[in-house]
Structure 1
């Protein structure tokens, strides 16, 4: 028998788990694999479910090891979802908790204080009740104080008695501010005190005209209204309005809020070139604490746009003569506000094609920038960014007497002319020019491959060698590139190999790698593991360096997209040898500050990495390509008309026109775009997909009919998705929808046809001495599986529901290093990323995900580089003689969707099963009757 108890300590809730065997009591350790299997003999599913939840909290870092015991810190209770709290008998947030606050003592004297009276279910806490941090003990029950109310009580707890009336008024202001969102009342004195406080500062933008903006600090409706008529624009920590006495109103601030408020007020009005600088890099003016998540949307609403002008080469072949029309000049792109972030259909208004200007006009813009000493100049009512250094290098070539008058050129002279221009970092090419340029580069053969001097501890596969040579060719020809290899092909190692080559050429320092925060550790560890590059600096956090001179001393700088937005002005001063954007879907939309910040950086080579370059619409591919090779796909307006709309309109009926447009797009980007899938690239062992049919048990069929009858009789008030989800749960196991108490293991097995078939599959795997991974996202199903596997096979298998952090990788390592037959259970989505388990070669998708891309990513934990054995992937599907089940229909839909998976130009959202598919999944309901 398992006993799990909770007790309150100073540090948090202490969790003690014991198992009694005969007369002995043993403590259960977390993670559970540390315990002998014998501890769990005859354990009930309810007890095991509690242990599974504890293990999940441990993996998340919520349940912490402390002096040979386990503690959940009080503040972490709010990070545990309500269902898990109920399973562990932890207190639930109770909105029935109310607080009435009284003032005691004389205001201005040392005995003044605030007294909170706490009520639970309208009963005032008595002398036998008590509060420990955010927990209330009332009549033998534990209650969790709602977070907003607890924050208020913390302010009162932290108050130290003083005779300073200003400090006293400030605590009253803080408490009244936090009381707005909490269940709080005040006595008459406190209620009458007109004191105000704000812990959050926001900004608004007022547009007077295209050449005049005002940045306005926002503290909240009440305070902003009070300050509206105030003569004092610069505030103090303590501000009195409307005189003294009973009519006075007082406003209080924390130091940081006050400093930021006054900084914004003093900056005030923006005019001229200050406007585009602010729009592109708002943190150059605004404090770092300001949340700018809606900034791009606000800029778009105001109709504000910024543009950039780059040098441009345009080549068109003359069909009659065989010569080429050769044109150089400038091209002006929109930099902010091109298309909406959250919709697929672009709003046509406000979109224009690129403006091409000749060398003379471009030269005049550059001269204007030089004379004004500004990076931005106004051209025909548009603010345009000019890179003066880049522009001068271009103009020196374009105005050279040998080239300035060239309008037509033959094929023999073209390579020489292109070579002259290619030493410009951000030169833009049209499609013809870039394809011709690539022809002169030539194709790479891995016969020419030699390992970079500073690469170590690894063997590159053939496709990785090709990727390295591709990067090398791009760099030598001043081109950027998008590496869009399938997951599991080692994109990171290919980039590290290239970085080692740059170090060998003394061209590495400084290089910038931008990645999501969760991947910074991966990058640093992989660079140190596979290379001799040791000069690495992680640029993040408040203590990060703020001068470019220090940063330039490192070979590799690692930073996040969020930090880049804040430090755009700093990082933009550095001439980077290379910039690498990992998970480049983060720059898929040109309206975001992130995309603008990335595109503003200077580098000899710009690299993007992502396995999913298209998620919602093809405009995302355009945006990423516009970063790595500006101009190749022309303006977004032209791209949408030429490629996006025809392709997305034709999804589902791939006719010849669709194929022609798709191939034209892929051929256009091919020189700077590399995508390989595992099929046909890796010499991986065979992958066998098996779809065993499983008969529903009589018990399952009965419940299946009941669910359908209830849905029909309820006049379909229940959503179609709701009944579909219940039917999916029933197919997995009837206990997921109707649990009538604990039963023994063999009763669980008898109730579910799918579970019976799983046992048969596992027996086959056991005979071969192999390992298996079972995927299901249902928490209760994970518990049932764990119990059955424990009782049938004697294996205390591991269960992972979320991301494994830090030393918790020991959970995975335990499974990987165990000899022979073993099983691990993973949540399809939560644990399907960032884990490699090539030691297993059997995958069972016990329950299906509604997006085959997610299932594929889960399978790729096993089927990837490092796998040496044939992989069997099982998709058990419930069937019935009564008619087709929802699992059969779902599998049919998924198989059709899978055909779209490898079509990189098809947005992945088209692969997901959505509402449009519900009718097909529901169409067999009429065949089922009681």
Structure 2
């Protein structure tokens, strides 16, 4: 094999060396490999099974028009397997990549790096290990994903790295760009002031923001929301950065989105993503993440779909899943809380079931029969692919009816809600016992009803949904965290389920659970994280014999496809069978 290198890839020329020592170009023909043969020119040669296995590794890679095979520089598996067969293996770039791959194979060999001089805290043992890994990636010019469980301090580890780089002598420190959800901005500000006050930062958000790159690059760190970055992408494209760090990087999971496309145009020396859920909904999200970090590692999106998506999600191919994990393993560090944070208090999760009374049950059954007939008729006529809107509407109405019948139609406002009666008792008992409570709901209208009840009872509370401005968010979080007289925090799951610390709470109520367990876990971990001193109890509220139970059953099936790959509602409907749809309405 002869190798030539490009920016992010190697082009491989495969050939056969005859007994006389002459090199002839070989054809990549799978049908011949299966027979133990290789074709060079007009000749056929029998080759060993060992050589065939090596050629089969290349068979799935991208073929160029000139017959060469393109392999990502980050595809260490192939490079390691074929290295001894490469004629020009003394090539400088190839040797560098080979050296990196060998050192990445054993994480325990990564050197211990002293904390930055101006770091004003103490890294926990696993944070020090993560910091060492980030430094290792930097040293060998690699990009990676720190995928620790929520609450383990990914922000602190990233800041320690930036502070260390700033202190490195003989190296100019470039401005780094940190892209975050709006709800995470205040947390980054707090962490910078607490741990790395020597890093100068600016928050680029709001109507008064200065759209001037010269102004922004005066700072060590620029913090910007995903939304604002997308709107101001022309400004940010005027310079390149030291690091681009994506916090809650599942925000770029859709590679067709404007946000993903905008971020891909940015230029930087290094890229780092931080997320507790590297795969939230489906396998293709992993391609988006890796395409941002190490472009070309998993091929094009089309190639990735052909090689992995169908095999893993539909055929349940464990070999394909293992192959994919091996490809991304060097670029991802993930630690579980239960493995590294032994001192963290315990967490209990309790499912609370409630039964609909007669009027609510009759209304629910009427909706169920109506929508079942409507949806199944649409599927019969147009197929599942073209029935997504009807399915979504039906599920929404059934979920609303199970929560508050008035959400489905205001004319049902006098029909009582079994779940409302249950949560009123749960809130009252929890607050009387001195607990601080987070209550999450997907529906702002549900939160409105619950807030009205809190006002009526005289409960003081904080509140957060997507409409709350950034400054007000910070105020609401601070109020709940610091004041004993604010025992309750109402949050929408989307706005308050990630990137904020709410360790003052020890009770979490998921009033209407999200069907993706990873999103639920993120919400619970607002309380169950570093800084928590009490046992955390999470209540998941479910209405019996309703669509809530049915979807939870389907999600249990999805868990079996691939570990940590769960289908969320946004991509839920296309993957269902007709039988699955029918079961939703039984």
TM-score after normalising by structure 2: 0.69
C-alpha distance 666-434 of structure 1, shift in aligned 2 (>3 A): farther
- The residue correspondences of 1:289-308 to structure 2 (distance < 5 A) are none
- Aligned partner of 1:451 in structure 2 is 115
Distance in 2 separating the partners of 1:536 and 1:554: 5
For residue 133 of structure 2, what is the aligned residue in structure 1? 470
User: Could you tell me how far 1:678 is from its partner in structure 2?
Assistant: 3.5
Q: Specify whether residues 685 and 569 from structure 1 end up closer, same or farther in structure 2 by C-alpha distance, changes over 3 A only.
A: closer
1:768 aligns with 2:439: no
Pairwise mapping of residues 470-619 of structure 1 onto structure 2 (< 5 A)?
A: 470-506=133-169, 507=171, 509-515=173-179, 518=182, 523-536=188-201, 544-546=212-214, 555-556=220-221, 561-562=229-230, 565-567=233-235, 570-572=238-240, 578-582=243-247, 584=249, 586=252, 589=255, 594=262, 597-598=265-266, 600-601=267-268, 603=269, 605-614=270-279
| Secondary structure in 2 matching 1:488 | coil
Provide the C-alpha distance between the structure 2 equivalents of 1:500 and 1:617, rounded to a whole number of angstroms: 35
Shift in Å at residue 795 of structure 1?
1.5
The range that moved more, 665-674 or 686-695, is: 665-674
Any gaps of 5 or more consecutive residues in structure 1?
A: 1-307, 317-350, 359-405, 410-416, 422-426
**Match 1:856 to one of 508, 521, 525:** 521
The answer as to whether partners of 1:769 and 1:821 remain within 8 angstroms in 2 is no
Structure 1 residues 635-654: aligned runs within 5 Å? 636=299, 641=303, 644-652=305-313
Please give the alpha-carbon distance, in whole angstroms, between the structure 2 residues aligned to 1:616 and 1:877.
22
1:438 and 2:116 are equivalent in the alignment: no
User: 1:292-371 counterparts in 2 under 5 A?
Assistant: 309-310=6-7, 353=64
What is the Cα-based RMSD across aligned positions, in Å?
4.5
SS of corresponding position for 2:162: helix
Contact persistence 2:312–2:562 (CA under 8 A): no
Name the counterpart of 1:673. Answer: 332
What is the rounded CA distance, in whole Å, between the counterparts of 2:368 and 2:134 in structure 1? 57
1:730 corresponds to 2:398: no
- Give the Å deviation of 1:496: 0.5
Structure 1 residue 538 displacement after superposition: 6.3
| Shift in alpha-carbon separation, 1:671–1:872, aligned structure 2, 3 A | same
Whether the 8 Å contact between 1:771 and 1:823 is mirrored in structure 2 is: yes
Task: Tell me the CA shift for residue 720 of structure 1.
Answer: 4.7
Asked which structure has the greater CA Rg, the reply is 1
Superposed counterparts of 1:106-185, under 5 Å: none
Correspondence 1:682 to 2:341: yes
* Cα distance in 1 for residues equivalent to 2:7 and 2:373: 66
Q: CA 1:808–1:667 in 2, change beyond 3 Å: closer, same or farther?
A: closer
Deviation digits for residues 172-209 of structure 1, max 9, x if unmatched?
xxxxxxxxxxxxxxxxxxxxxxxxxxxxxxxxxxxxxx
Separation of aligned partners in 2, 1:312 and 1:715: 48
Given the superposition, is the C-alpha separation of residues 895 and 845 from structure 1 closer, same or farther in structure 2, using an over 3 Å criterion?
farther
Q: CA offsets, 1:677-725, max 9 Å, x none?
A: 4343433322222122222112222322333455578897894543433
Give the CA deviation at 1:470. 0.4
Q: Which deviates the most, 580-589 or 720-729?
A: 580-589
Quick check: 1:314–1:430 contact (8 Å CA) kept in 2? no
- 1:889·1:920 contact (CA, 8 Å) conserved in 2? no
CA contact (8 A) 2:178 2:221 kept: no
C-alpha contact (below 8 Å) 2:150/2:276 kept by paired residues: yes
Higher normalized helix content (fraction of residues): 2
State which of 332, 353, 357 in structure 2 corresponds to 1:697: 357
The size of the alignment, in residue pairs, is 493
Distance 1:522 1:781, change over 3 A: closer
Q: Is the 8 A contact 1:499 1:508 kept in 2?
A: no
Q: 2:204, 2:223 within 8 Å by CA — same for their partners in 1?
A: yes
- Report if aligned partners of 1:798, 1:824 keep a CA contact under 8 Å in 2: yes
Distance in 1, Cα, partners of 2:525 & 2:582: 31
Q: CA deviation at 1:567?
A: 5.0
Match of 1:844 among 494, 509, 527: 509
Distance in 2 between residues matched to 1:671 and 1:595, nearest whole Å: 23
User: Once structures 1 and 2 are overlaid, which stretch shifts more, 580-589 or 861-870?
Assistant: 580-589
Q: Partners in 2 of 1:430 and 1:538 — Cα distance?
A: 38
Q: Distance in 2 between matches of 1:443 and 1:864?
A: 29
C-alpha distance 646-808 of structure 1, shift in aligned 2 (>3 A):
closer
What secondary structure, in the 3-state scheme, does the structure 1 residue paired with 2:488 have?
A: strand
Question: Which of structures 1 and 2 has the larger relative contact order (alpha carbons within 8 angstroms, sep 6+)?
Answer: 2
Alpha-carbon displacement from aligned partner over 1:203-236 (angstroms, at most 9, x marks no partner): xxxxxxxxxxxxxxxxxxxxxxxxxxxxxxxxxx
Match of 2:319 in 1: 660
| Secondary structure at the counterpart of residue 495 of structure 2 | coil
User: How far apart, CA to CA, are the structure 1 residues paired with 2:271 and 2:294?
Assistant: 8
Residue by residue over 1:123-152, the C-alpha shift from the partner in whole angstroms, topping out at 9 and shown as x without a partner, is xxxxxxxxxxxxxxxxxxxxxxxxxxxxxx
The answer as to whether partners of 2:375 and 2:391 remain within 8 angstroms in 1 is no
Q: Within 2, Cα distance between the matches of 1:734 and 1:789?
A: 20
| Ranges in structure 2 where 5+ consecutive residues have no aligned partner | 14-61, 70-85, 379-389
Q: 2: distance between equivalents of 1:577 and 1:738?
A: 53
Moved more, 492-501 or 861-870: 861-870
Counterpart secondary structure, 1:784: helix
CA contact (8 A) 1:852 1:897 kept: no
SS of residue paired to 1:876: strand
Question: Secondary structure at the residue paired with 1:499?
Answer: helix
Distance 1:805 1:461 in 2: 30
Q: Does 1:781 align with 2:446?
A: yes
Deviation at 1:889, TM superposition (A): 1.4
* SS, match of residue 865 in structure 1: coil
User: Aligned partners of 1:740 and 1:407: how far apart in 2?
Assistant: 78
Q: Distance in 2 between matches of 1:702 and 1:440?
A: 61
Q: Return closer, same or farther for 1:647/1:538 CA change in 2, 3 Å cut-off.
A: same
Rate the CA distance shift 1:428–1:679 in 2: closer, same or farther, 3 A. Answer: farther
Displacement of 1:839: 1.2
Structure 1 residue 892 corresponds to structure 2 residue 553: yes
